[in-house]
């Protein structure tokens, strides 16, 4: 199966990070593109600490699209690394550098190195909402039950 459509996204790469290349899909069916750390020197992340890691890229999403920055599962299971504010949303009108808020939830320090794959980015269409006020919502089997009401 191949993707049904593609979308062109403008990208600008800082001259100092051109060696890192473009974000890319790891496999033909990957949903997210890998983002790489554009750190100038190794960054040690102690347990319980967080850091804002640059990627060296700026993107120009077309109207009607967003990019979500998500954690990488391998870093999560092997080192306890996750992303705060996840998924991070990049709006179509943002033109600054894409940066990743990394947190070390593990028990050991983790070193972030230049070019390391630190996150993944998924570009997706955005739906806009038009609110429709009503006095009462329709009934459902679940109703107002939440926070574990459908089972463990």
Calculate what percentage of the chain has a pLDDT beyond 90. Answer: 88
| Confidence check: pLDDT of 5 > 90 | no
Query: Mean pLDDT across the stretch 64-78?
Result: 96
Domain ranges of the chain: 10-125
- The pLDDT tens digits of the residues spanning 7-66 come to 999 999 999 999 999 999 999 999 999 999 999 999 999 999 999 999 999 999 999 999
Q: What pTM was computed for the model? A: 0.87
Answer whether CATH 2.70.40.10 is correct for domain 10-125. Answer: yes
Calculate what percentage of the chain has a pLDDT beyond 70. Answer: 96
Q: What is the pLDDT of residue 142?
A: 86
Average pLDDT over the chain reads: 94
**CA 139 to CA 120: how far, in whole Å?**
38
Strand order in the sheet with 24-25: 24-25, 33-36, 117-125, 65-70, 88-90
125 Cβ contact list (under 8 Å, min separation 6): 64, 65
Q: What is the pLDDT of residue 2?
A: 52
């Amino acid at each position: 199966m191949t993707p049904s459509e593609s979308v062109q996204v403008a990208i600008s790469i800082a001259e100092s990070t051109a060696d890192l290349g473009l974000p890319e899909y790891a496999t033909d069916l990957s949903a997210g593109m890998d983002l790489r750390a554009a750190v100038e020197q190794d960054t040690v992340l102690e347990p319980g600490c967080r850091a804002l890691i640059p990627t060296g890229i700026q993107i120009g999403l077309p109207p009607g699209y967003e990019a979500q920055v998500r954690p990488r599962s391998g870093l999560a299971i092997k080192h306890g690394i996750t992303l705060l504010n996840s998924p991070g949303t990049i709006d179509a009108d943002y033109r600054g550098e894409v940066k990743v808020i990394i947190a070390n939830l593990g028990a050991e320090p983790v070193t972030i190195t230049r070019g390391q794959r630190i996150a993944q980015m998924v570009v997706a269409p955005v739906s806009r909402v038009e609110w429709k006020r009503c006095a009462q919502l329709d009934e459902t089997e679940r109703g107002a039950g939440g926070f574990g009401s459908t089972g463990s």
